[in-house]
Amino acid sequence: MNLDLLAAQAQRQGGPAEMIKTIAIFVVFYAIFYVIILRPQKKKVQAHKDRVASLVKDDEVILEGGIYGSVRAIEDGVLQVEIAEKTIVKVDQNAVRSVVSEDAKK
């Protein structure tokens, strides 16, 4: 009885060819994961960094808390954002969620 179980297990292992198939499947799944998830996310993050780096005075921004404001000054990665008349707050550049486009202003 035990010999039958050992023989059945030996037939299932398949040897080096089975290992190559398994590795190939993992490589294909990683490639699909990279193309569908990682690459677009990397492009999105880079585009956001570029937009934030190109901010200039009087640009309209939305901060992480959903606060709308206008950039008044930029110095060493710190923005001074006017969120209401004569109300200016200092925030890190990373706190900018998005830049309000010209189309959205109209």
* Residue 69 near residue 81, CB atoms below 8 Å: yes
| Cα 76 from Cα 47, distance rounded (Å) | 20
pLDDT over 60 at 80, yes or no: yes
Chain centroid offset of residue 39 CA = 9
> SS3 letters for 55-93?
CCCCCEEEECCCCEEEEEEEECCEEEEEEECCEEEEEEH
> Which sequence spans correspond to the domains of the chain?
2-50, 56-105
* Report field, pTM of the whole predicted structure over 0.75: no
56-105 maps to which CATH number? 2.30.30
pLDDT band at 5 (very low <50, low <70, confident <90, very high): low
Task: Check residue 77 and give its pLDDT.
Answer: 86
